Amino acid sequence: MTELQIGQEVELEYGGKAVVSGVIGSGGQGTVYLVDYNGMSWALKWYDIKKIKDPKAFKNNIKQNITDGAPSNKFLWPRYLTKETEDGTFGYLMELKPESFDSFVDILNTYKLKVDPLTGRATKAPVRFTNLSAMVTAVINIVNAFRQLHRAGKSYQDLNDGGFFINVDTGAVLVCDCDNIAPDGSNFGIGGKPGYMAPEIVRGIAKPDVQTDKYSLAVVLFKLLFRGDPMEGKKVIKDVCLTEASELKHYGSDALFVYDPNDDSNRPVRGIHDNVIKFWKIYPDYIKDAFVKSFTEGLHDPNKRVIENEWQKLFIRLRSEIISCPCGRTNFTSMFEMQDDVTYRCPKCGTTFATLGFSNLEYRLPLYIGSKFYECEIDPNSDDFLSVAGELVENKLKPGVLGIKNISEKTWRAKMPDGMHYNVEPGKGCPIWKGLEIDFGSVVATI
């Protein structure tokens, strides 16, 4: 039994029944239904077991994942297994995606289709990140989710554009389709999606694991940041129709990064790959260098792929190097002029930005109203990239006077113009001035 009917009851392994109330969508392995269970709405993934290589082993793996629990709250993880029907069909319950999250596919398309329930007419609704910081935060969250998964000894195995939901306002991420996740080294027949699979999988000489996840992760990150395919350049588009043989060639045996520094034969083509051309000029060198490494050395040697912890540090830096200028220009520091070693200048309006340097970091934080730094930047032992530690604010009583507000739970020590050190309690702030020094404990920041 591969299809369920509205109103049909589905028994769960540990008691109770879920009642089918609607269809959410379908995919290669089965259908996802909206169900009611214990007075709450859930998503039920119901399998077509004919499409699963070893249904028993597959089900046992899901059961083990349920027992182990999700690596973090960034996963829409299996929660409850159903009982098998007479023909062996089964499914599992997971939490529903919140309405505030959009699919990765819709974000790449920049719109989603909304259907009027009365007329059936579909209209396009824009799906775009609210700001640059939200987009980079989403990238950090994606990287961190897979860092946590791999640290738990498991691999995703089918990483592609259908595996994420993202809140475009905050950058929060939910990883979905978690049923193929398995202990590293195990595989239940899944290979992956063309364009996202590592070359060694495309060539048939390897099965999905943590190392192939790292390649697929780099593809996901590239598509989100550069809005294009890292392997699709002028060599690939010569094949009007990508057959299985040509996919094996362009994404397997002869895969070539569009910005390979030693081979320009697959460069992006104007009029087709304009987004990639545009954004490659915008991102700073340390981001581009990481992708070059991923898709050149890492293309052929899985051990040389960029690891999640490296990606996380790079993108935390990228988020901190965003400048929002009063003239409306918002971009990375790489697109601003350097007036001197510690000051940026807007090429559009000439506004200058002082910077805050941290003793543990090689980059400086540009200062403008609303600029923030995070717990992981003031504590070398912290992995918390979501909690804001400090923010540049304007004095409510003295317009034009700027200061750094302590949003953390720790007391800072600030060296003031008189040479004395003062405590900056949580919720309080200190004015900024040339020579300001703030001691966060194990890290010192200076202007």
What confidence tens digit (pLDDT) does each residue in 124-134 have? 999 999 999 99
Q: Whose CA is closest to 410, among 430, 390, 395?
A: 390
Tokens of 164: 């994420």
**Bridge-partner residues for 402, per DSSP?**
394
How far apart CA 366 and CA 359 sit, in angstroms, is 15
Q: Is the pLDDT of residue 365 over 90?
A: yes
Q: Are 384 and 420 in contact (CB under 8 A)?
A: no
Own/partner contacts of 209-213, CB < 8 Å, gap of 24 or more, are 209/155, 209/157, 209/184, 209/185, 210/150, 210/155, 210/184, 211/302, 211/303, 211/305, 212/155, 212/157, 212/302, 213/146, 213/150, 213/155, 213/156, 213/157, 213/159
pLDDT of 1 strictly over 60: no
Rounded CA-CA distance 160/196 in Å is 6
89 has a pLDDT exceeding 70? yes
Q: Specify which residues 366 forms β-bridges with.
A: 355
Q: 313, 361 in Cβ contact below 8 A?
A: no
What's the burial of 300, exposed, middle or buried (CB within 10 Å: 0-12/13-18/19+)? exposed
- Work out the end-to-end distance of the chain between its first and last CA atoms, rounded to an integer number of angstroms: 67
Average pLDDT, integer, range 229-235: 96
Does position 240 have pLDDT exceeding 70, yes or no?
no
pLDDT digits (tens, 9 = 90+) for 19-74: 999 999 887 788 999 999 999 999 999 999 888 889 999 999 999 999 999 999 99
> What's the mean pLDDT in 177-193?
85
Q: Within 13 Å of residue 156, how many CA atoms lie on the same side as its CB?
A: 35
The DSSP bridge partners found for residue 414 are 422, 438
Q: Retrieve residue 207's tokens.
A: 């099965």
Paired with 390 in beta bridges are: 373, 406
Average pLDDT over residues 428-443: 93
Residue 427 neighbours by CB under 8 Å, 6+ apart: 405, 406, 407
Q: How do residues 391-429 score in pLDDT, each as one tens digit?
A: 999 988 888 889 999 999 999 999 988 888 999 999 999
Lowest mean pLDDT among 33-47, 182-196, 239-253, 424-438: 239-253
With CA atoms as reference, report the closest residue to 360 among 420, 320, 329: 320
β-pair partners for 175? 75, 164
Query: Residue 219 burial (CB < 10 Å; 0-12/13-18/19+)?
Result: buried
Give me the pLDDT at residue 185, please.
81
Distance CA 161, CA 177 (A): 11
For residue 332, list its beta bridge partners. Answer: 322
pLDDT exceeds cutoff 90 at 343: yes
pLDDT reading at 256 higher than 90: yes
Q: Indicate yes or no: pTM above 0.85.
A: yes
Q: How far apart are CA 319 and CA 143, in angstroms?
A: 14
Mean pLDDT of 420-444: 94
Q: What number is the average pLDDT over the span 332-359? A: 96
